Amino acid sequence: MTKTDQTAQAAAAWTPAEHEQAESPGRGRFTARLHRSVQRVWAGCHAHPFLEELRSGSLPLDVFAYYMKQDYVFLKDYVKMFALGSLKARDLETMGKFADLLQQTLNVEMELHRQYAERFGITRDELEATEPAPVTLAYTKYMLDAGAQGTLGDVVASLLPCMWSYSEIGSEAVRLHPECLDHDLYREWFVMYSSDEFRSLADWCVQLMDQLAEGLPERELARLEERFVTTSRFEYMFWDMAYRKAAWDL
């Protein structure tokens, strides 16, 4: 069996848990539809060998370092989605929330990212000099284009898989594979993405998506769903790119 077959088999065996619960806040209506539409893709992420090995602690350090570098260039563009969120929002509360997220991610989380990377032997210069891999570039440019051309709904539908899937990956890992917290270096990654703070951020974004979808015609809902499915597929490809350390051929 090839790695891809194994991943598909593991994905089929993986059973969704918390996020399927009807009482979860904001998981009603449109976001329930979104979640259903990416079930196979997200299950593929959970079951990807990158995450399996990260959870068991057997992921080679050089593979994680490659992921960290690509993630850093990803974040540089991703935070611009928060700027677009602030620009396209119509009420002060949402404008302020996106402005806070921009400030927090750009000035606090990215600094933490630099410090964490140093523990893997990646210097700040090396991080700054990282050239985006094809998948990183395609993902961020697709997302920024969808956000720039579209409404606040397009911004949120495009950036949501990043937050929601990471929150699900972090909390499911800690719940089902508590040994993921035993690793000296990878522990921090799981602590961050399984935190209550992170979950409330994802919940806020899910609720905002539901509010924005209310009353929209099916034609627009279908476009938002397509954004959400596409960036979810890019999330899967990002894991796969990092695992294979996939870069430009020439």
Ligand X SMILES: Cc1ncc(C[n+]2csc(CCO)c2C)c(N)n1
Owner of token pair 């974040």: 75
Q: Which of residues 166 and 228 has its CB atom nearest to ligand X in the complex?
A: 166
Q: Which of residues 30 and 166 has its CB atom nearest to ligand X in the complex?
A: 166
* Contacting ligand X within 142-181 (CB under 6 A): 162-163, 166
Residue 108-147 contact track with ligand X, rule CB under 6 A, x = bound:
-x--------------------------------------
Name the catalytic one among 168, 172, 225, 235.
Answer: 235
* Contacting ligand X within 46-105 (CB under 6 A): 71, 74-75, 78, 105
Residues 6+ apart with CB under 8 A from 37: 225, 228, 229
Q: CA 218, CA 76: separation in Å to the nearest integer?
A: 33
CB of 49 to ligand X, least distance (A): 17
Q: What is the DSSP string of 217-239?
A: -HHHHHHHHHHHHHHHHHHHHHH
Respond yes or no: is residue 235 known to be catalytic.
yes
Q: CA 56, CA 182: separation in Å to the nearest integer?
A: 9
Q: CA 67, CA 47: separation in Å to the nearest integer?
A: 17
Question: Residue 195 interacts with ligand X (CB under 6 A)?
Answer: no
Site residue total, ligand X (CB under 6 A): 11
Q: Which of residues 122 and 162 has its CB atom nearest to ligand X in the complex?
A: 162
CA 148 to chain CA mean position, Å: 19
Q: Which of residues 204 and 216 has its CB atom nearest to ligand X in the complex?
A: 204
Q: What share of the chain is helix, strand, coil (3-state, %, to 5)?
A: 80, 0, 20
Residues in touch with ligand X (CB under 6 A): 71, 74-75, 78, 105, 109, 162-163, 166, 235, 238
Residues marked active site are found at 235
